[in-house]
Chains A and B, each alone.
Chain A
Amino acid sequence: MGDIIFGLIAVTIGIGASYGLYWLLNALLSFLPEKILKRVQWIAFLTPALVLVTLVLLVPIVQTFIWSFMDKRVENYVGFDNYVALFTDPNFLSVLVNNFLWVLVVPAITVAIGTAVATLTNQVGPTREKIFKTLIFMPMSISFVAAATIWSLTYAYVPPGRPEVGVLNSIMIGLGLEAQPWLTISDGRLNTFLLMAVLVWLQVGYSMVIISAAIKAVPEETLEAARLDAANAWQVFRHVILPQVWGSIMAVFVTVLILVMKIFDVVLAMTGGNFDTSVLALEWFRVFFESREIGPASAIVVVLFVLIVPLMYVQIRTVKQQEELR
């Protein structure tokens, strides 16, 4: 009970204080003469956001870059030693391979299934569309940790001699095969692919929603014209719908790509990064929280950062294009 009251007080103070801040900033500025006020008015509205972003994002990011050239306890500069150590460590190279596989597989499959579901649900009428969409979309509200729990049960392995409780192993036994400790099998990175299934499961809903909205925005006339030319359903999709929703598909692709680059929770919860499943973000987490090595951990994050920067460029460019269309 005390917790709840304390929580409520904290919540009220936090929100009240931030409202008061804006009121105060504006009150201070209002003493200025109108002519100056017009030019400095933005300060009152933008300062808190700028301070927040500068202190919690910009400065720390710069700091991380600097620390990536320092030793474990960030006392001495060590040049490129951290990076050299990373790229000569076979374990880290294996981590990079995993990240590469994630990026290669998950966005493409997510977008493909999303497009298929969006196209199919568009044909079955509003009632069925709503039910199907809600069920496919639902995993989006689930945390990565809860999703990992759900799928751990599906992949569950019970030592021999006791009845299986996991779906996958029960299917295996039904087919006359042997049950497998799935998440420990790193041959051909099988376990990493099983982890990817969890993320696809989580993200298809998002991909479906965006692509579905784009499909519904395709002008009826273009579909009508194609039908008059006696195009079949596949041809209409391939030559009329697909080109018009391609922009949305790419946008989803990039968004999922960025998400997958940073993938962390699912791997942490399901394998802890063992059995060759670790990824960059998890490696960072381990090096910092388990080994307390700040310099090396920062170097890992910088590698991740550098891999994401090209996507940042794509993001800014698409936004610019959108602005010009306005």
Chain B
Amino acid sequence: MSTLKRISARFKLGSTFILLALVVVWSLPTLGLLITSLRRRSDAEVSPWWDAVLDPLGTVWSTDAYQTALESGMLDALINTFAVTIPATILPLMVAANAAYAFTFLNFKGKEVVFSLMVGLMVVPLQAALIPVLRGMVWLQKAVDIQLTGTYASAWIVHSAFAMPLAIYIIRNYMLTIPTSLIEAARIDGASYYKIFWSLVLPLSMPAIASFAIFQFLWVWNDYLIAFIFVGQGSPVLTYELLKLLGQYGQGWQDVAAGAFISLVVPLLVFLGLQRFFVRGLTSGSVK
């Protein structure tokens, strides 16, 4: 008995079992959806997904649901989502990095106040700004005939603005670790602030920028509200199409399931591939 106890302690069996149970609970819902997406409609309707797991050889596996989902709008939505997400990730990073540089290395009156305001804005619910922004864009269209609503650009602008507080905060925190003497040395060598930013500070800040890029990419990709309001049904994104599919699952669960997987494959790959940077971003963004 004592040998058993020792082995258990040695391999941490107790902790492992608790974690194993938790991981099973955590993964089952997703696994269920994945399996459902690979079944035929006639099967998915009449038997639960674990029947397929219990009898994998007797089950007819099929990718029909993926084809149906892609043809019924998910493929276009995938393209739209990329078109919204990539600039909505790069633009705020560029703007925020520039701003963080000013907050870190340049001196001006009221710097602390403006920065505090930025930090405070981090928690503001974005709903508090959306209606006036939408109305403002409609007004702009009437006044000077620049169409923003319904275009990708409106989503880029809104996402960029909402990302600003957190992005500036994280990048500035990182820039504070760059020694000021480095900047001063470059100044003495006659480099302009512009040059110092692009060729010295920006490359040095890449870890923080990369972390935030992943964070922002996932956030924009997964967003429903802003895409719904500003891009809308003209160029529907994945979350928009998926919600539509979910509303009509009379068609069978397999199509919704396939749609869900099409929408989450890209963020999942980004996440698994760049997990380390993502974790670093989260831990540096948190207040210890």
Contacts and interface: CB of A to CB of B under 8 A. Distances in A.
Contacts of B242: 143, 145-146, 149
A326 B176 contact: yes
Nearest to B99: A49
B231 interface: no
Contacts of B249: 152
A30 B194 CA distance: 10
A297 B127 CA distance: 10
Contacts of A139: 26, 30
Contacts of A63: 132
Interface stretch (A85-93, A117-125, A183-191): A117-125
Contacts of B124: 57, 61, 305, 308, 312
B47 A165 contact: yes
A82 interface: no
A14 interface: yes
**Is chain B's interface secondary structure helix, strand, loop, or mixed overall?**
helix
A15 B80 CA distance: 17
Interface in A121-152: 121, 123-125, 128, 132, 134-146, 148-152
Interface in B136-180: 136, 152-153, 156-158, 160-162, 164-165, 168-169, 176
Interface in A179-236: 201, 204, 206, 209-210, 213-214
B225 to A, nearest CB: 7
Kindly state the interface size class of chain A when it binds its partner: 35 or more
A60 B121 contact: no
Given A7-B152, A124-B19, A262-B127, A41 B32 contact: no
Interface in B37-75: 44-49
A301 interface: yes
B264 A141 contact: yes
Given A3-B76, A201-B26, A53 B121 contact: yes
A124 B15 contact: yes
Please indicate which of the listed interface residues A10, A151, A297 has the most CB atoms of chain B within 10 Å of its own CB. A10
B23 interface: yes
B154 to A, nearest CB: 10
Interface string A240-267: 0000000110011001001001101100
A281 B132 contact: no
Kindly state the interface size class of chain B when it binds its partner: 35 or more
Contacts, number: 315
A94 interface: no
B98 A48 contact: yes
Nearest to A310: B123
A167 B225 contact: no
Interface of B: 12, 15-16, 18-20, 22-23, 26-30, 32-33, 36, 44-49, 76, 79-80, 82-83, 86-87, 90-91, 94-96, 98-99, 101-103, 106-108, 114, 116, 118-133, 136, 152-153, 156-158, 160-162, 164-165, 168-169, 176, 192-194, 197, 218, 221-225, 238-239, 242-243, 246, 249, 253, 256-257, 259-260, 263-264, 267-268, 270-272, 275, 279, 282-283, 286-288
Interface of A: 3-4, 7, 10-11, 14-15, 18-19, 22-23, 26, 30, 39, 41-42, 44-46, 48-50, 52-53, 55-61, 63-64, 67, 113, 117, 120-121, 123-125, 128, 132, 134-146, 148-154, 156, 162-167, 170, 201, 204, 206, 209-210, 213-214, 247-248, 251-252, 255, 258, 261-262, 264-265, 268-269, 281, 284-285, 288, 294, 297-298, 301-302, 304-305, 308, 311-312, 315-316, 318-319, 322, 326
